[in-house]
Structure 1
């Protein structure tokens, strides 16, 4: 069982059933040794002919060349103000405004009609509009929902294997329908990662990484992502130490980022992937402890694009390979970054450089634009960034807000295309307008640069930027469409170079032994061998065992059998590479059980302490793991306990105190045979006002002023007088990340959480004075 993730044996069986049909041992695609990591977004599927696609719904997982990509990053899940993760479709579109925050939301958007989340991740869907009962006519529907792991939860559903919940209808995977992203990728030997953050959803990363309580919520949602079948986590915190959209960075971010990587690694285990996207500006990279990151992370995905754009004072290149005389700022190119990272001792094989499948257009002050021409800025109201001073070209690339996809650029006439021999990238001009982009020759040069410098590979933003359907479409339901003849010229150029520039290279021939037998707790060793038609040097790697290369085309694999009471079957995967292509083979291991039945006590992880204000509530999250996979139960000496997919949440209602008081809360987890306990010291901070009101209806308050009202602390967002806190939007209640008691006089917005009668509720819409627990009301029991 994955560390930090607890599911019942039934849920595990359901998860295994849902993955049935997925190849258990598939040679990775592609077969060369370089990473080709493509970002696939939730929102691109909405775009149609106005954005260069043949039809709306073309830009999904069904139209990605799985023979080229080795990893796909599903983008993005955002970070909310309480540290939890939410669907990218639920991002606060006004997050650019001062004091704006991201409210918590579902991990996957529950509305299958307004979101692509389930259609992309689970594939073609069959809808069940109400949870089936036990009537004879409902038996077929009941069987389907039970087989796929759905159980009734309030007025909606809960997917037991992953812990993801939603509203009606139930989104069943359609039998025989088009597979979802994860299933389709796995069938082709491609891994899929969950990418967290992005430019517009990183605001709460710093506070989450610095706060153990919020981080616990974050990690609990990481558990859900892994239970959904993702192969790892990609962090896109833009940017630690320097800040991003509507938030400032601080020096502590670097250490907190490094700790977060280690926490995620501990959570997902050593065999899953952990990566992150980094700025290509070395000034933003100096604060990291790179050896520490190297120890916990698999790859560093360097965003070697967006180096110039509408914010620049002169027209420059989006993603230059080398420096050029007209550049506004020095050292913003791929070559400089590589040299800098090498000097830091960062292993080259862990470095992936960016490939931009899009361009950036700007308008200049010149009659005819050129590299280095002064840009012409004005205030532009962007859909994501809001009002911003920019020279972005909206006259030619309005649908893309100045960032056209490569496939659209190639369809657009009237531009004069040129080549910058210094930067080794193309650009185009049309009158005063300047466009920087990448084409097949520049992408080939970058791919060859990666090969020549023995880097790990590339990251592609984003996989649908270069696709072109040269066939017809097959429809899968009302949403998904698959092209019968798909062209991806930029991705194909990368694959051509990584595979040997079109020169045929034969993959090594690998020979592995038959089934191996071993007793529980003992070791077995066996030999493997390989040959290569081109006599290239060979290297061996294995999973689930250790390997020693004998240097003569053979290797010795050593497998340590687990201590098990019953007979089990395990698999060791062997991979041999000639530097460009690889071959894999699997060896089945039969482990003979000892017959000695024992029980391993559960392992409990809990914070040592917590803090809560007098009279308020705090949710304390604990996690537990059980090596035997037993069903775990939780109890606490104080507060109410709600089981979560990874442990439990204890809601502690603090007493009203006049001096700071420490209350010891003992949490216990049991597997039915053994138990483990932990004590959490909860400091109840005295209310200096004694719960009294300090708000004066006759006093003028300005933005930033704070008051107490009915025991709640409020902050004024702008000038106000006579507007009662809790009843007017001018007042914002203080949020310490905990869930407070419901108040009849307080205004609640969709997504707000409260406790009432020792139960947790979430607001479904705006309300005031509506008591939680009433049927049909605005509160949903959590």
Structure 2
């Protein structure tokens, strides 16, 4: 990826080029001014091939694209019962139990064999197993130890520059070895902050912030952290006022949090960074004095993820950009939070929104999962949260406890990947299992949203969630390994959007009429209009009705009043979008009741035809509306009917045929009093192999091999066995190079061409799901 040089980082770049080969090649710094803040944990490095990494030790600072990130947050230090700080590796694993407390412990775990603290922060190590004696034969080793600031301290050692103490062996930085996180980041012009707290280590925040004695112990350890070379402090108190794992919040927390920020600012000085992570639920944010916080803090890191999961009663999205009809609770999405923060007058440049490099999986009560499906809960014993009622999917994501990294999600076969056009995020289903995650397309949309609204940037949880090693590994000491060809597709998408030079987008201005009047069952129409300062193409949509775009900035909305005996008030929501921003307004309709109810038959929507392959299943999706609001029941003459939140799906297994055959499936919907039916013609195609062998799940295929499955021809991109075409990334639909119609599920690279509505377009860069014709999009008209 090409990036231009930022002059402020040239000196750092030159310094990095003088390093030994341990750190690999140095690329140019980003040219944009957005924050890209990545959390790097000190426990992820333990994970290996079972968790989507190539080797154990891949998830360290040596495998982070520091040309993409501007700040890295080392996570986490915890707060002990006396207010002191401790290594995250020393977390009390029973902290979820009643009356459990966190005892004090070392700031960095002293055992270099069971912890990554020193390996990540100090880099490649040379172990000195006892303090060198002052003897001529030991002079060189003694000088090395003293030059790095180590002195004898009891039965161990003291590092004088930082005040850190530990046990033997002494973790000496190896001369010429791979650098530690802070050294490497600074050579690349990246800042490193120390994150304190997190979900499982926040219990003692409230008492520390309220007790001057405990707070002073906290501050003394802040001094040690800053002496290690960190560029600032990030507070992850989860959560002031509302509480968290095994502790209750109280109203005084908010003022104590604000004072704590001011005290930390005084302690670290005006030139260091001070940030904090905040919940995405506005109910947890109302208690803060945001104007006061803005004076002491640099950034507000909003955790716009974990909005749905195993605790939810229905399957929902982990990190939705916009609201969606099936959501369990309203106002849990990025767009609502931004609007709320803007209304509070919070400076937009101080706001960073969350990007999830992981997903959340749940199991549902339905045979086929869908957005809004009821979740299936049972008692689960989590490693962090302990015994909890949860619907978490442990059948597919056991090693992640239901939270798989993106780099692992991509490799799993058998999932049907879908896109929610309302929330603007992907999801996947496999039988009763539901997975919410983010991919390149949704991450790019969130990055563009940040540009459009002139926000500070993003926070990434966590940086190793998307890393992929396309090369080999070089080892540095017993634990550190560096990939020779590292890929970070989600981080690269953020960088691409932020570096594109896009200007903030103006939202459309929507005008709707005053309240309308209608009689029961009456069909009425009214006009709406919209303008856009950027001249973007506008499109209209409506809830509870239909809309026709008149093509001149106006649209006509048609609405049918319900068949009601009594007077009522209804609301028609009209939405206009320019492809980047949406604006909605409500039109009130006063409906005059008829005094008597006559049943109205439901209206069924079903496809006229569907295509199927001999002997293979096909799903027919149908929906229906009922003016009376009656409950609807779906039936079909053939196949298995499964009701969904939007209608029903009929799964029909086509007969085995030797010649193309048409089969009629009659679908019926009933409101208990009247019914409507439609015939769907299933065109069953005889399996003629379509130029390739039929896919065999027991056969090994190599790159370039072609197969057919369900009548579609596919080409293998690499070695594969048992991964079903159409559901696994290893298989690509065969492309003969001819100009074809654009499809939302296909990946296009720069230079690829496609047609849409008779117009030919050319992709300017990598894209998936971005519809040609949008202003400032990846497509240009030929």
Q: Counterparts of 2:163 and 2:292 in 1: how far apart (Å)? A: 32
Q: Counterparts of 2:257 and 2:16 in 1: how far apart (Å)? A: 35
Deviation string 1:350-392 (CA, Å, 9 cap, x unpaired) is: 0000000000000000000000000000000000000000000
Q: Which residue matches 1:555?
A: none
What SS does structure 1 have at the residue aligned with 2:482?
strand
Q: Which residue matches 2:68?
A: 68
User: Cα gap change, 1:428/1:194 in structure 2, threshold over 3 Å: closer, same or farther?
Assistant: same
Q: Which residue matches 1:30?
A: 30
Q: After the TM superposition, which residues 441-520 of structure 1 pair with which residues of structure 2 at under 5 Å, given as runs?
A: 441-500=441-500
Q: Counterparts of 2:351 and 2:28 in 1: how far apart (Å)? A: 20
Q: After the TM superposition, which residues 34-113 of structure 1 pair with which residues of structure 2 at under 5 Å, given as runs?
A: 34-113=34-113
TM-superposed CA distance for 1:28, in Å, is 9.4
User: Cα gap change, 1:502/1:128 in structure 2, threshold over 3 Å: closer, same or farther?
Assistant: farther
Q: Quick check: which has more Rg, 1 or 2? A: 2
TM-superposed CA distance for 1:501, in Å, is 7.0
Q: After the TM superposition, which residues 196-207 of structure 1 pair with which residues of structure 2 at under 5 Å, given as runs?
A: 196-207=196-207
The structure, 1 or 2, with the larger RCO (C-alpha pairs under 8 Å, 6+ apart) is 1
Q: Counterparts of 1:28 and 1:77 in 2: how far apart (Å)? A: 32
Q: Which residue matches 2:395?
A: 395
What SS does structure 2 have at the residue aligned with 1:396?
helix
Q: Counterparts of 2:39 and 2:357 in 1: how far apart (Å)? A: 11
TM-superposed CA distance for 1:133, in Å, is 1.4
TM-superposed CA distance for 1:300, in Å, is 0.1
Q: Which residue matches 2:286?
A: 286
Please say if residues 16 and 188 of structure 2, whose CA atoms lie closer than 8 Å, have aligned partners that are also in contact. no
User: Cα gap change, 1:423/1:340 in structure 2, threshold over 3 Å: closer, same or farther?
Assistant: same
TM-superposed CA distance for 1:316, in Å, is 0.1
Q: Which residue matches 2:367?
A: 367
TM-superposed CA distance for 1:478, in Å, is 1.0
Q: Which residue matches 1:339?
A: 339
Q: Counterparts of 1:27 and 1:363 in 2: how far apart (Å)? A: 43
TM-superposed CA distance for 1:137, in Å, is 1.5
Q: Counterparts of 1:65 and 1:495 in 2: how far apart (Å)? A: 11
Q: Which residue matches 2:296?
A: 296
1:318 aligns with 2:314: no
TM-score normalized by the length of structure 2: 0.61
Please say if residues 27 and 189 of structure 1, whose CA atoms lie closer than 8 Å, have aligned partners that are also in contact. no
Structure 1 residue runs without a partner (length 5+)? 1-19, 504-782
Please say if residues 32 and 501 of structure 2, whose CA atoms lie closer than 8 Å, have aligned partners that are also in contact. no
Deviation string 1:610-657 (CA, Å, 9 cap, x unpaired) is: xxxxxxxxxxxxxxxxxxxxxxxxxxxxxxxxxxxxxxxxxxxxxxxx
What RMSD, in angstroms, separates the aligned Cα atoms of the two structures?
1.6
Q: Counterparts of 1:217 and 1:446 in 2: how far apart (Å)? A: 40
Q: List 4+ stretches of structure 1 deviating above 3 A.
A: 20-24, 26-29
Please say if residues 28 and 189 of structure 1, whose CA atoms lie closer than 8 Å, have aligned partners that are also in contact. no
TM-score normalized by the length of structure 1: 0.61
Deviation string 1:480-538 (CA, Å, 9 cap, x unpaired) is: 000000000000000000000799xxxxxxxxxxxxxxxxxxxxxxxxxxxxxxxxxxx
Q: Which residue matches 1:327?
A: 327
TM-superposed CA distance for 1:32, in Å, is 1.0
Deviation string 1:129-185 (CA, Å, 9 cap, x unpaired) is: 111111111111110011101111111111101111100010000000000000000
1:250 aligns with 2:246: no
Please say if residues 83 and 208 of structure 1, whose CA atoms lie closer than 8 Å, have aligned partners that are also in contact. yes
What SS does structure 2 have at the residue aligned with 1:265?
helix
What SS does structure 1 have at the residue aligned with 2:230?
coil
Q: Counterparts of 1:60 and 1:22 in 2: how far apart (Å)? A: 18
Deviation string 1:388-419 (CA, Å, 9 cap, x unpaired) is: 00000000000000000000000101000000
Aligned residues: 483
Q: Counterparts of 1:502 and 1:338 in 2: how far apart (Å)? A: 20
Q: Counterparts of 1:413 and 1:149 in 2: how far apart (Å)? A: 52
User: Cα gap change, 1:23/1:189 in structure 2, threshold over 3 Å: closer, same or farther?
Assistant: farther
Q: Counterparts of 1:267 and 1:378 in 2: how far apart (Å)? A: 47
Q: Counterparts of 1:210 and 1:234 in 2: how far apart (Å)? A: 19
What SS does structure 2 have at the residue aligned with 1:56?
coil
Q: After the TM superposition, which residues 201-240 of structure 1 pair with which residues of structure 2 at under 5 Å, given as runs?
A: 201-240=201-240
Deviation string 1:677-734 (CA, Å, 9 cap, x unpaired) is: xxxxxxxxxxxxxxxxxxxxxxxxxxxxxxxxxxxxxxxxxxxxxxxxxxxxxxxxxx
1:277 aligns with 2:280: no
Q: Which residue matches 1:349?
A: 349
1:152 aligns with 2:139: no
Please say if residues 149 and 161 of structure 1, whose CA atoms lie closer than 8 Å, have aligned partners that are also in contact. yes
Q: Which residue matches 2:608?
A: none
Please say if residues 420 and 426 of structure 1, whose CA atoms lie closer than 8 Å, have aligned partners that are also in contact. yes
Q: After the TM superposition, which residues 600-611 of structure 1 pair with which residues of structure 2 at under 5 Å, given as runs?
A: none
Q: Which residue matches 2:181?
A: 181
Q: Which residue matches 2:617?
A: none
Q: Counterparts of 2:478 and 2:31 in 1: how far apart (Å)? A: 34
Please say if residues 451 and 502 of structure 2, whose CA atoms lie closer than 8 Å, have aligned partners that are also in contact. no
Q: Which residue matches 1:438?
A: 438
Q: Which residue matches 2:161?
A: 161
Deviation string 1:5-51 (CA, Å, 9 cap, x unpaired) is: xxxxxxxxxxxxxxx97799x99943310000000001000000000
User: Cα gap change, 1:80/1:22 in structure 2, threshold over 3 Å: closer, same or farther?
Assistant: farther
Q: Counterparts of 1:221 and 1:330 in 2: how far apart (Å)? A: 41
Please say if residues 28 and 70 of structure 1, whose CA atoms lie closer than 8 Å, have aligned partners that are also in contact. no
Q: Counterparts of 1:268 and 1:407 in 2: how far apart (Å)? A: 37
Q: Which residue matches 1:406?
A: 406
Q: Counterparts of 1:225 and 1:167 in 2: how far apart (Å)? A: 19
User: Cα gap change, 1:263/1:29 in structure 2, threshold over 3 Å: closer, same or farther?
Assistant: farther
Q: After the TM superposition, which residues 562-641 of structure 1 pair with which residues of structure 2 at under 5 Å, given as runs?
A: none
1:193 aligns with 2:193: yes
Deviation string 1:79-110 (CA, Å, 9 cap, x unpaired) is: 00000000000000000000000000000000
Q: Which residue matches 1:241?
A: 241
Q: After the TM superposition, which residues 699-738 of structure 1 pair with which residues of structure 2 at under 5 Å, given as runs?
A: none
Q: Counterparts of 1:474 and 1:332 in 2: how far apart (Å)? A: 44
User: Cα gap change, 1:206/1:27 in structure 2, threshold over 3 Å: closer, same or farther?
Assistant: farther
Please say if residues 22 and 183 of structure 1, whose CA atoms lie closer than 8 Å, have aligned partners that are also in contact. no
Q: Counterparts of 1:139 and 1:241 in 2: how far apart (Å)? A: 57
What SS does structure 2 have at the residue aligned with 1:397?
helix
Q: Counterparts of 2:332 and 2:477 in 1: how far apart (Å)? A: 46
Q: Counterparts of 1:83 and 1:120 in 2: how far apart (Å)? A: 25
Q: Counterparts of 2:373 and 2:27 in 1: how far apart (Å)? A: 49
Q: Which residue matches 1:598?
A: none
Deviation string 1:51-73 (CA, Å, 9 cap, x unpaired) is: 00000000000000010000000
What SS does structure 1 have at the residue aligned with 2:183?
helix
What SS does structure 2 have at the residue aligned with 1:464?
helix
User: Cα gap change, 1:65/1:114 in structure 2, threshold over 3 Å: closer, same or farther?
Assistant: same
What SS does structure 1 have at the residue aligned with 2:392?
coil
